Structure 1
Amino acid sequence: MLHLIATPDQLAQLLAASRHQAGLTQAEAAARVGVSQSRISTLETDASALTLTQLLALCGAYGLQLQLRDRDEPSAEPAPLVEW
């Protein structure tokens, strides 16, 4: 599924949902990424301080792939609207 993220709050919600979907506890996710459980908790409520390294590690742990594209460039297929 394609998720369009425009704010840190949307990213925080996506991280929490993706962790749940991957069947991981915060402690298990933290161990995979190399941060504390409290850091995972913080990022799931406020992703504004998330580093790129942490984002990429979380994507790997949760089975996500980071993709960037120009907003003005039409995609091959219409993006589904995802409400957070």
Structure 2
Amino acid sequence: MPHTLVTPIQMGQILKTARKTSQLSQTKLASRVGLSQSRISAFEQQPENIGLGQLLSVLNVLGLELTIQPRQNTAPQAQLARDSDAPEW
């Protein structure tokens, strides 16, 4: 099920829910990712401190992926402002 994140706390909640759904303890997840249990706990409680590489590793073990896409239902003026600043991919 897709999730739209607006705050870092939401990422922590998603990670915790996915870990529990996978029936993994923080210790077991940490072992699979190569991190400490305290680091996994910190991810769940203070997700704003997650490094991108570590986040992707945790998501991979949990069978999740990160997708970035344009916002839905964006006001035209706001979209134009973003488009002018957006990198050309």
Name the count of aligned residue pairs. Answer: 74
Larger radius of gyration between Structure 1 and Structure 2: 2
SS at match of 2:64: coil
**What's the Cα RMSD here?**
1.5
Where does the alignment leave 5 or more consecutive residues of structure 2 unmatched? 75-89
Write the distance in 1 (CA, Å) between the matches of 2:31 and 2:71: 35
Q: Which has the higher contact order (CA 8 A, sep 6+)?
A: 1
- TM-score for the superposition, normalised by structure 2: 0.78
Where does the alignment leave 5 or more consecutive residues of structure 1 unmatched? 75-84
State the identity %.
39
In structure 2, the partner of 1:47 is 47
Aligned-pair CA distance for 1:72: 4.3
Match status 1:18 vs 2:18? yes
The residue type paired with residue 36 of structure 1 is S
The residue type paired with residue 51 of structure 1 is G
- TM-score for the superposition, normalised by structure 1: 0.82
Which segments of structure 1 move beyond 2 Å, counting only runs of 4 or more? none
Write the distance in 1 (CA, Å) between the matches of 2:51 and 2:59: 12
The answer to which structure has the higher helix fraction is: 2
The Cα offsets for residues 10-40 of structure 1, whole Å up to 9 and x where unpaired, read as 0011110010011100001001111100010
In structure 1, the partner of 2:30 is 30
